[in-house]
Amino acid sequence: MFYTDGKLQYPVRVERPNPNFARALQQAIGGVEGEIRVAMQYMFQAFGARGPAKYRDMLLNTATEELGHIEMLATAVALNLENAPLSIKEDVSKDAIGGAVLNGVDFRHILSTGLAALPSDANGVPFDASHVYASGNLAADMVANVTAESSGRVLAVRLYNMTDDPGMKDMLSFLIARDTMHQQQWLAAIEDMGGMAASLPIPNSFPQAQENTEFSYVYLGHMVDGSIPEGRWTNGSSLDGKGQFTAQVSQPLGEKPSLAPARPDGGAQSEQTSKSGMGGVIGAVEGAIERNL
């Protein structure tokens, strides 16, 4: 069950409505860095959480808070749209340059919602859940959540710097603070599970003896000149304490792939349906490449 009392988690006020900023705020609602994303991510992680109940409860509580952030931002969008012009004629009559309707406003705020928020990003692209990560592995999910809160805080800071409205800065300062807490919260959950060393590699339930350990802790360089960008990842003990970092230039360990001829009824060219035909096609292509070189 979910409950609401109709009140905002934090006050939302707009002193100088700005339809363009309303559009920018849409990114914090329905963008890949936005609140719908994290609300759904934490919600579905909680729905599928197995193991200690405290992690499920933490996820559900935070997901519910994120729903409140959507409410705050939607209110901010609506307040920024108050008194926005409803016609191009009205807008042009107030601004010789062409005004807000012709200069950045999301027309759907006028045409689809009657000056209200949308479940979409700043370009009007509807939220589609493509960045909702819920793997069923608590450690993997917590790492993904730190990333989500980090990108969300980056966005909130950019929005904060974009506006000079005191009310909007106040609301965004609250959201930025909650992003700070949530980053710490997910990292604390990893620590609560034993820390990164105990959690890595994810999943830690798979026996490492069954992976190709020759490649478990070696950094592979793919630069044409054979150089290696050396750093903490190329030497010393691995972060999980289970190996030593090394580095080497990557070498091809497999052969060129060889696929069977195309099926005669598959819509391919006749040359593709036999090995000899494909050899001729490949030879022609290689010859053309060599001539161009």
- Give per-residue pLDDT as tens, 63-109: 999 999 999 999 999 999 997 766 666 665 565 444 555 567 888 99
In a domain, 289, yes or no: no
CB neighbour list of residue 177: distance below 8 Å, 6 or more residues apart: none
Residue reference for tokens 């989500």 = 148
- Taking a C-beta distance cutoff of 8 angstroms, is the pair 23, 31 a contact? no
Are residues 36 and 180 both part of a single domain? yes
Are residues 175 and 39 both part of a single domain? yes
Are residues 168 and 35 both part of a single domain? yes
In a domain, 263, yes or no: no
In a domain, 265, yes or no: no
Range of the domain at 222: 208-249
Are residues 105 and 224 both part of a single domain? no
The CA distance from 74 to 117, in Å, is 5
- Taking a C-beta distance cutoff of 8 angstroms, is the pair 196, 239 a contact? yes
Among candidates 149, 147, 153, 158, which has minimal Cα distance to 176?
A: 153
The string of pLDDT tens digits covering residues 255-289 is 999 999 999 999 999 999 987 655 555 555 565 55
Are residues 133 and 30 both part of a single domain? yes
Single-letter code of the amino acid located at 35:
E
Are residues 242 and 107 both part of a single domain? no
Residue reference for tokens 């990164």 = 196
CATH number at residue 93: 1.20.1260.10
CB neighbour list of residue 284: distance below 8 Å, 6 or more residues apart: none
**217 half-sphere exposure, CB direction, 13 A CA radius:** 16
The string of pLDDT tens digits covering residues 124-178 is 999 999 999 999 999 999 999 999 999 999 999 999 999 999 999 999 999 999 9
Are residues 63 and 131 both part of a single domain? yes
- If you ran DSSP here, which 8-state letter would residue 98 be given? -
Are residues 24 and 87 both part of a single domain? yes
The string of pLDDT tens digits covering residues 241-253 is 999 999 999 999 9
pLDDT-above-70 percentage for the chain: 87
In a domain, 9, yes or no: no
What domain count does the chain have?
A: 2
Are residues 67 and 135 both part of a single domain? yes
- Taking a C-beta distance cutoff of 8 angstroms, is the pair 124, 108 a contact? yes
Are residues 213 and 180 both part of a single domain? no
Among candidates 237, 240, 244, which has minimal Cα distance to 204?
A: 240
In a domain, 272, yes or no: no
CB neighbour list of residue 261: distance below 8 Å, 6 or more residues apart: 272, 273, 274, 275, 277, 278
